[in-house]
Structure 1
Amino acid sequence: MSQHQEPKIPDSIANEVLQKASELYAQSNTQGYSLTELQEIGEKVEIPAEIMSEALNQVREKHRQLQIIKEKKEQQLKIIKLSSFILGILITMATIFSYNILNSQREEVKARWAQVENQLQRKADLIPTLINLTQAQANQENQLILLLENARQEYLKADNFQEKLVSTERINEAINQFNQYALNNHNLASSQVFINLQYEIAGTENRIATERMRYNQSVQRYNQSVRSFPLSIIANLTNFQEESFFQANI
């Protein structure tokens, strides 16, 4: 039968145990040292077994507490990393969702403006008929014809929102002058072509008013999103700008 062996104390704590044992031994000796005792200690330090055992227990308890603290810190670090990862995912999803909302509303504004442009174009396309009527009834009215032609050309050359609105005002002025001219020209005002044209103009005005209303509603929704938190943050980061309302009198 093999002889029972005591467990070995690891080298990593052996020095610490000896130091602690020395401290405990020094604390337990309250009588002081004689010269002979100091000489003997100088030759060889003898520490009682019970003090050595107590020192070992205290060192082991210290290391156990340090390990517990270390494990708690590691667990806290894991929780922080996981929380940061989840938060990052949520922020990314919120950013994508907000961007999609803004982009969708901006595209709706563009689509509504396209419908307005369709009707404005329809109105501009009526001008050649007005010109033909004017030429047929009174060749001397070159100034009115020139006004109508210039108004239409200005609209066709316009390539942005503000230019479209300004050129539309020019078309309105030209059509208003034509209507005034027609009222003073009995033959023109009573012709079936002119009467049909007046119906066409009135119908176009109604369509423009409807599309203008829809466009402005879309702009209002979009602009509110651009100004509202947290979408306003995404709007600033991704260069979403507020759109202008269609306020022209047509």
Structure 2
Amino acid sequence: MRKFAPVLAIVGILVLGFLYYMSVNNGAVEVDQSVKKEWGNVESSYQRRNDLIGNLVKTVQGAAEYEKGTLTAVIEARAKATSITIDPANVTPEQLAQFQQVQSGMSSALSRLLVTVEQYPSLKANENFLKLQDELASTENQILTARTRYNESIEKFNNYVLKMPRKIFLSDYKEKAPFKADAGAEKAPDVEFNFDKKETK
């Protein structure tokens, strides 16, 4: 029996090693799926904003028919914002930077459009416009929350796959890039206006 002890010990070590590998791999799958889920929430939040902006453009277009240049800028920015697709399984800093850039362009164009509302009293009393305005403000908060949760899932993923000894078994899993704050990103785009406020000269 003693002569089989070394063989049994080796088999036992191999079994334990295999079980550890399975545990590590399953853990990596879980944190990877979490990242994909949170990225889906980010995309859903931005999609909601894009849908609302489409409705907002139609509402403004009906009441401010001479603001064609501003409306065109918003429409073009919206098209760019929806043209960028990211695979959360292989997200890179460059991809996220490009995504953030087009979304910032969308926010900027939207802000310029909303400033023109001051010139159109009919929009100030338009219930549809006011509702869209409120929904946009709410959606900006949803985007912030979704991005924060995505970054939290990225942190968990990176910590899991990059720490030793798991890193040895998870060479196929690469570090993922989190969102980085844009300049002034601590403030959501201002989509609420005080229409009673007089312009100071």
Report the counterpart of residue 163 of structure 2 in structure 1. 228
Aligned AA (1:103): V
Which of residues 83, 88, 93 in structure 1 aligns to 2:19? 93
Q: 1:8-27 alignment to 2 at 5 Å?
A: none
Tell whether 2:176 aligns with 1:243.
yes
CA apart distance, 1:184 = 4.2
Bigger proportion of residues as helix = 1
Q: 1:158-197 alignment to 2 at 5 Å?
A: 158-160=84-86, 162=96, 163-197=98-132
Aligned AA (2:16): L
Q: Which has the higher contact order (CA 8 A, sep 6+)?
A: 2
CA distance in 1, matches of 2:26, 2:168: 14
Aligned AA (1:172): S
Report the counterpart of residue 64 of structure 2 in structure 1. 138
CA distance in 2, matches of 1:80, 1:183: 85
SS across alignment from 2:178: coil
For these two proteins, the number of residue pairs brought into alignment is 174
Aligned AA (1:234): F
In structure 1, the gaps of 5 or more residues are 1-73
Tell whether 2:31 aligns with 1:105.
yes
CA distance in 2, matches of 1:182, 1:100: 53
Aligned AA (2:180): Q
CA distance in 1, matches of 2:23, 2:166: 9
Equivalent pair of 2:64/2:120 in contact (CA under 8 Å): no
In structure 2, the gaps of 5 or more residues are 87-94, 189-201
CA apart distance, 1:156 = 2.3
CA apart distance, 1:165 = 2.9
Q: Is the radius of gyration larger for structure 1 or structure 2? A: 1
CA apart distance, 1:114 = 0.3
CA distance in 1, matches of 2:56, 2:64: 12
Equivalent pair of 2:42/2:150 in contact (CA under 8 Å): yes
TM-score, normalised to structure 1, is 0.64
CA distance in 1, matches of 2:6, 2:30: 36
Deviations 1:181-221, CA, capped at 9 Å, x for gaps: 22344332342222111111011112212222221111111
Deviations 1:83-121, CA, capped at 9 Å, x for gaps: 111111111111110010011101011001101111110
Tell whether 2:142 aligns with 1:207.
yes
CA distance in 2, matches of 1:95, 1:102: 11
Report the counterpart of residue 67 of structure 1 in structure 2. none
The Cα RMSD (Å) is: 2.0
